[in-house]
Structure 1
Amino acid sequence: MDRGVRRIVKRRVEQLRPLIPAPWDMNVFLDQLEQARNRPIDLCELHWAPGDSTGAWRAMPDHDVIAYPTNTSPWHQDVIILHEIGHMLPQHAGHCVLTNQRAQQLAPDLKPAAFMHLLTSTTGAAEEQEAEAFARSMITQIEHHRHRRTPRGGLRGRVEAAFG
């Protein structure tokens, strides 16, 4: 991956680090991201079949929609949602690859206007690498945040704070 992309991803993750809740909770993180961006984010749970894309992001006029699979682990759902946020923040464009009929088959309970090609765009290799790097970096930050301890008082607290 290009150094410039790594720098961009690193800077983006650094900006979001204060939004990472402890303990980790994707919904709390998304609430804070919505406030920081002043733009709502709707999550759309869908059942995914083998061979389908695992997630999708779509910018609507007044909010963003992220689709993710219900039939995978919570950790994997977080990775997928973070990957889509990695597309959302830089506003990757993508291009349409599925018909409205196929999108309706994938999400039969949604009105066509609600997902307007939600599950139908694909991005280029460079955009995919950037989104994947973003998701990996965020997961690393979340894991680091999760294992960080609150320092205790006295000598023991100072030793733990200094040496982990």
Structure 2
Amino acid sequence: MCSRKRRKTTSHQPHDDFKQRCEARVRSLGLPKREHLTVPVLCNRLSQLRGRPIQVLGLPLPLGSPDGLLIETEAQDFIIYEARLAPVHQRQVVLHEVGHLICEHTTETAVPLLTELFTPSLDPGLVRRVLGRDHSHTDVEHEAEYIGSLIGRKISTWSSERTRTVPPEARDLVARLSALDPFRPCR
């Protein structure tokens, strides 16, 4: 006779509800299949749903600032990401900000950084004390990150361009690395 310990079952109800709610939001967007979904296609779809354009901008942001910002205006939305990040990190930052758009989160935490960018003579510490703090560990931030990750799983690539120009000095290295992945031909 074999004896086994019974596993304790724990309820993950709040976490399951969170996941289901986020997955439902992503499904409701009616995104195209993976092979046709890119960041520009995603932003065009969201622009249609929101009734105003979304512009994605890579900018060198001040030291200590967030890696991304969402700025919503009456006429247009802007997603700004730190241009000096690695491309994969840039994409996740953009998708995180897209998560805020999808969830219709408010954008008041960006006010101190915007003040620093556009009115540099004001003390950033004073602006933060007066207007509030960055709440990067809040439920809102977790929700935006999870939504961004869900979309990231569905997305094909950062752009629709599939081939890249390889500088002559890197061709040998790229050819060797490409040999490891037979599904991505290198030119």
Shift of 1:16: 3.2
Shift of 1:28: 2.5
* Partner in structure 2 of residue 104 of structure 1: 118
Query: Residues 58 and 43 from structure 1, CA distance in 2 versus in 1: closer, same or farther, beyond 3 angstroms?
Result: same
Mapped to 1, the partners of 2:84 and 2:47 lie a distance apart of 26
1:9 equivalenced with 2:22 (yes/no): yes
Partner of 2:19, secondary structure, is: helix
Match of residue 53, structure 1, among 59, 66, 79:
66
8 Å contact kept, 1:58–1:64:
yes
Mapped to 2, the partners of 1:44 and 1:4 lie a distance apart of 33
8 Å contact kept, 1:46–1:70:
yes
Task: Select the structure of larger CA radius of gyration.
Answer: 2
Runs of 4+ in structure 1 displaced over 6 angstroms?
none
Amino acid in the other structure paired with 1:84: E
1:74 equivalenced with 2:97 (yes/no): no
Aligned length: 131
1:79-113 residue CA offsets vs partner (Å, 9 max, x unmatched): 1111001111222124346265512278xxxxxxx
1:41 equivalenced with 2:89 (yes/no): no
Mapped to 1, the partners of 2:59 and 2:133 lie a distance apart of 16
1:136 equivalenced with 2:149 (yes/no): yes
8 Å contact kept, 2:99–2:148:
yes
1:92-144 residue CA offsets vs partner (Å, 9 max, x unmatched): 124346265512278xxxxxxxxxxxxx984560100100111111112226x
Query: Residues 41 and 99 from structure 1, CA distance in 2 versus in 1: closer, same or farther, beyond 3 angstroms?
Result: closer
Amino acid in the other structure paired with 2:18: V
Match of residue 97, structure 2, among 84, 88, 101:
84
8 Å contact kept, 1:20–1:29:
no
1:28-79 residue CA offsets vs partner (Å, 9 max, x unmatched): 2212221233221112221135532000112111221111111122222111
Amino acid in the other structure paired with 1:27: P
- Identity, in percent, stands at 24
Amino acid in the other structure paired with 1:18: L
Query: Residues 99 and 17 from structure 1, CA distance in 2 versus in 1: closer, same or farther, beyond 3 angstroms?
Result: closer
Query: Residues 101 and 12 from structure 1, CA distance in 2 versus in 1: closer, same or farther, beyond 3 angstroms?
Result: closer
